[in-house]
């Protein structure tokens, strides 16, 4: 059966159920990470994306496995949505040898090349030009791969962002710029950083397509991303997707940072009423999916996460004899 969405379109029930599963997985993994941080079992800085899950899930559902994604400090969601291994992420956050970066990266440096996740790094906006380069690479190699740069609204304050949009538009590169506009750059609100709430206008300025989408509506994100990805793949060039959302937790760690921003409490109440996961559940419920099926999704996710935490706890620490390995790559064949 098909389910009717808010924008009048429809998606298969199976697809929407898979969106719910993926969003739940990100939400519950991060809630668990937040608990582990609160009790100091995890010490690496963890930037949680709770409340923003519809964006990585909606965008990555529109991608092929060999499309590439590039992220920042708040990228647990991007990693999981693109197919990164949950156990390897959890172990990385614990700093273990079995982590996706072998304990050298922590929460802010996730990687899974086989899934097209070449790396996430916390230097704000730093991976935006790298995604442009991946798109240039795809074009020169003659593949149909698309590159996606995920970044927050804070990154649009950087020069990297504007230079990259210009280059991508100029060379009509297959890249999707996904701005997760949660209205905060650490503690500073959007209004304290720019004269207008107009991030998407950067697209027109640099000559590429710009789309604003409700970042808490997973089907809307999916549809917008799907269209942008098809454009990119068919050689019509890049798109800036401004996904408007809200970060429920503070900049870093599990606390809500209620002291920042004059309206933080009111905003949080308002945005929590627009919870992307609750909205997706309601849509499935209204479409006749029984609640025990939906609760089964939650139970399955909870089990996966507990297994991942157990895997991370039981994994060995990195061997310090490897401290200086991989500063340089082994020479590759020509």
**Residues of this chain that bind other proteins (CB under 8 A):** 68, 70, 101-102, 104-105, 109, 111, 113, 118-119, 121, 123, 126-138, 140-141, 147, 159-160, 163-164, 166-167, 170-171, 325-332, 334
Please state the closest distance from residue 137 (CB atom) to other proteins, in A: 4
| CB 103, min distance to other proteins, A | 8
In the complex with other proteins, which residue's Cβ is closer, 288 or 328? 328
- Closer CB to other proteins, residue 109 or residue 249? 109
Q: How far is the CB of 204 from other proteins (least distance, A)?
A: 18
Q: Which is nearer to other proteins, 3 or 232 (CB)?
A: 232
CB of 156 to other proteins, least distance (A): 14
Contact in structure between 118 and 134 (CB atoms under 8 Å): yes
Compute the least distance from the CB of residue 116 to other proteins, in Å.
Answer: 9
Nearer to other proteins, 195 or 327 (CB): 327
> Which of residues 206 and 247 has its CB atom nearest to other proteins in the complex?
206
- Structure tokens of 35? 């608990």
Length of the chain: 334
Please give the C-alpha separations between residue 160 and each of 151, 164, 194, 241, in angstroms, as whole numbers.
Answer: 11, 6, 17, 17
Which residue, 32 or 104, has its beta carbon nearer to other proteins? 104
- Sign of the CA dihedral 99, 105, 110, 112? negative
- The distance of closest approach from Cβ of residue 311 to other proteins in the complex, given in angstroms and rounded to an integer, is 18
Q: Please, what is the minimum distance in Å from the beta carbon of residue 286 to other proteins?
A: 42
* Beta carbon nearer to other proteins, 171 or 189: 171
């Amino acid at each position: 059966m098909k389910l009717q969405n808010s924008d009048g379109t429809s998606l298969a029930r199976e697809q929407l159920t898979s969106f719910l599963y993926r969003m739940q997985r990100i939400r519950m993994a991060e809630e668990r990470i937040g608990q582990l941080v609160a009790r100091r079992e995890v010490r690496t800085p963890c930037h949680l994306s709770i409340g923003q899950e519809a964006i990585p899930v909606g965008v990555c559902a529109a991608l092929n496995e060999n499309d590439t994604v590039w992220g920042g400090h708040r990228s647990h969601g991007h990693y999981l949505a693109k197919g990164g291994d949950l156990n390897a992420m959890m172990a990385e956050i614990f700093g273990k040898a079995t982590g996706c970066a072998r304990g050298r990266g922590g929460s802010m440096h996730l990687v899974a090349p086989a899934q097209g996740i070449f790396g996430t790094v916390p230097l704000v906006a730093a991976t935006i030009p790298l995604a442009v380069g991946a798109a240039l690479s795809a074009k020169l190699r003659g593949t149909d791969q698309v590159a996606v740069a995920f970044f927050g609204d804070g990154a649009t304050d950087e020069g990297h962002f504007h230079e990259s949009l210009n280059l991508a538009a100029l060379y009509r590169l297959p890249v999707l710029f996904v701005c997760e506009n949660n209205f905060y750059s650490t503690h500073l609100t959007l209004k304290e950083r720019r004269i207008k709430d107009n991030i998407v206008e950067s697209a027109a300025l640099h000559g590429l397509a710009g789309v604003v989408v409700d970042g808490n509506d997973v089907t809307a994100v999916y549809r917008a991303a799907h269209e942008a990805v098809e454009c990119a793949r068919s050689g019509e060039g890049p798109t800036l997707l401004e996904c408007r959302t809200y970060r429920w937790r503070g900049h870093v760690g599990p606390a809500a940072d209620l002291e920042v921003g004059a309206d933080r409490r009111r905003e949080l109440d308002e945005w929590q009423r627009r919870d992307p996961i609750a909205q997706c559940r309601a849509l499935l419920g209204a479409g006749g999916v029984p609640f025990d099926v939906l609760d089964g999704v939650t139970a399955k996710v909870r089990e996966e996460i507990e297994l991942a935490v157990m895997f991370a706890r039981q994994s060995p620490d990195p061997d310090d004899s490897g401290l200086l390995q991989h500063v340089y790559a082994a020479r590759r064949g020509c």
